Amino acid sequence: MLTVNLVLGFLGALAAVSACPDGPDGHTHDHAKRAVPSSPLTPPTRPLVWGDVNVIHTTDSHGWLLGHQKTSFPEPNYSGDLGDFASFVTHMKQIAIERDVDLLLVDSGDLHDGTGLTDGFPAGGIDAHDANQFIKQLPYDIMAIGNHELYIYANALDMHTNFAPAFKGRYLSSNVNITLLNNKNQVVTVPVGDRFAKFTTRKGRKVTSLGVLYDFTGNDHNTTVQKVEDMVKEKWFADAIKEEPDFFLLVGHMPVARDNWPLVFNAVRAVHPLTPILILGGHTHIRDCLQLDGRSISLESGRYMETIGFLSANLDKKGSHKTGNLTFNRRYLDPNRVTFEFHTKRISFNFDTLEGKSITQGLNKLAKKFDLSFQFGTAPHDFTINQAPYPSNNSLLTLFIEDAVPVALAINNTRASIPNIMITNSGSQRFDIYAGAFTKNDQLTASPFADSFLFIPGVPFNVANQVLPALNNAGANERRAMLEEREQHNYGRGYVETEYRRWLEEMDRRNDGVARRAAANLTLGYVTNDACPGVGDDVLHAPLPFFSVPDFIGSVPPTVATPDTPIDLVFVDFISTQLLQILNTVQTAKLYSNADVQSYSPILANAALGLFAQSAWN
């Protein structure tokens, strides 16, 4: 048990949560209105297939509540904002009543970390606190915690104190606890939300629901994540699933494939071999579906409000024997007004609800309050992470490490004249930059991580120049094993870009991307191949072009007089341990350690693009 003083220390530290900087001139700028896409949006080709029980599913929204506002495809596919989505849900609920069926709204976690609406708060604020007030206005039946709710204790405490209570026992954290002081000033460890929920649908169906987080290891002090294999052995778990409902609704921030959902599924099946089970997963940012047996279905609905999942199930008729397979349907919707109006049979003038318009207005006011439209400069064209080869003029990774970082780190730096090589991880860039205004919101979206730049002085050029290739070299068996171990470690701490990029690469390869992109009637977007029958995508697209990128990227090596000319080896703190290991394998003349590492600049990685844009894009 943690001491009271330690907990008080954590509670006292809440005000010290780091914040992203405001716009340099301190002025407020109106948030840009959604842009007109370069081509018309493609409408859905067919109506949704409704069942006895239907689910609208969101996951990994990461603050993308004002939609994707750029004109380059695929961004317009995802241009609907949370107000549009709220109007859509209202109309869908009415359609469910008219059809006399159940419709549930479910979310699988990760509300934090992603855009200026969550991350752009002024000093002293808490990530996503303001944005989450709008999510609370939607009629979610079940929400589950994600790993991004747990990186910072203040965020987890805010979810426990200010968010979960709004859902009256329906915000679930089955295997996630928080340690805090209760109202009697006692140190207690309690679930962030609730462990499970039991409720009855509008049509009288009994539901038992869980909210499970995968085996996450990157959580902050005074939060705990119990392994899934241990959670299913708990007495509360056995008690929760003992009584048979009409169906189980298993919601959680865990991918539906290649993770631990079978542990939960099998524990339920051991008690209820035939009860219908609906699993709504998340975390890996992909569209995915599979069936663990003929009376269950598992659905995962993408990331960044780029996908709204729709799931329907026809259950056993009352009085019939529970033996045969059930009929399920799933659909991945592109969240934009064309999609929403098509499926609700509405048009522009009668689509918006008062609540929906109020949410949109509120989000725009929040964006104005956070000064998210402050413009650093104008990007001359699109810079993407995977749609352009690295290195190239259209690569965001090239822009970042070859242009932005050297310019930013040279500012007020006495070592700027000393030759250097700069290295960072490619995962430091989270989202593409598109042509046009490059704003505070774009900076927070594309390059969010507040990594510090460190350096080792006096490294011989011929040694320093071997570090980047060695970091990326997976040829030798021992190096490959090390990389696989690192990937597993990073997955545990929440890094999902490896899985997401594998999915994009497979999508381009499997669907003959070059040929499909040549088809004039298809816009760029997701082309999903999953393990469930039928076509899952609501709109047919051509897959995005995909170019693989290395794990680590570096600046252009300097021209030096001799191979042993001493230079500065500059790198982000995030990769410090790995870089030292590699530095000690490419040479043996000196054993480098943390004692050799110094701070290179007070400028953090998340400021580099903005500083570069101010000098180069104006």
pLDDT tens readout for residues 175-196: 999 999 998 999 999 999 999 9
Give 344-363 pLDDT, tens digit per residue: 999 989 999 999 999 999 99
Alpha carbons 533 and 380: distance in angstroms, whole number: 43
Whether pLDDT at 20 is above 70: no
Higher model confidence: residue 436 or residue 5? 436
Q: What is the mean pLDDT of residues 71-77?
A: 96
Residue 40: pLDDT band (50, 70, 90) is confident
Q: Tell me the percentage of the chain whose pLDDT exceeds 70.
A: 92
Record: fold of 4-369: Purple Acid Phosphatase; chain A, domain 2 (3.60.21)
Q: Which of 36-50, 54-68, 367-381, 495-509 has the lowest mean pLDDT?
A: 36-50
Alpha-helical (H) ranges within 298-370 are 337-344, 348-351, 354-369
Cβ pair 604, 452 in contact under 8 A: yes
pLDDT-based confidence at 12, cuts 50/70/90?
Answer: very low
Distance CA 510, CA 298 (A): 23
Instruction: Tell me the backbone φ, ψ of residue 20, rounded to 5 degrees.
Output: -75, 150
Task: Please give the average per-residue pLDDT across 504-514, as a whole number.
Answer: 94
**Which overall architecture, per CATH, does domain 375-616 show?**
Alpha-Beta Complex (3.90)
Domains of the chain, residue spans: 4-369, 375-616
Q: What are the b/e assignments for 208-242, b being 16+ CB within 10 Å?
A: bbbbbbbbbeebeebbebbebeebbeeeebeebbe
pLDDT band at 33 (very low <50, low <70, confident <90, very high): low
Residue 503 phi/psi, 5-degree rounding, is: -65, -45
CA-based angle 89:91:97, to the nearest 5? Answer: 105
At 38, is the pLDDT very low, low, confident or very high (cuts 50, 70, 90)? low
Report the largest interatomic distance among the alpha carbons of the chain, rounded to a whole angstrom.
87
Query: Is pLDDT at 81 greater than 80 in this prediction?
Result: yes
Enumerate residues 6+ apart whose C-beta is below 8 A from 468. Answer: 421, 423, 552, 553, 554
Smallest Cα–Cα separation from 73: which of 517, 449, 534, 454?
517
H/E stretch holding 281: strand 277-281
Residue 538 tokens, joined: 């609501």
| pLDDT class of 382 with cuts at 50, 70, 90 | very high
- Specify whether the CB–CB gap between 253 and 282 falls below 8 A: yes
- Mean of pLDDT over the chain: 92
Please give the structure tokens belonging to residue 507.
Answer: 């999508």
d(CA 201, CA 592): 63
363 and 117 in contact (C-beta within 8 Å)? yes
Asked if the model's pLDDT at residue 32 lies above 60, the reply is no
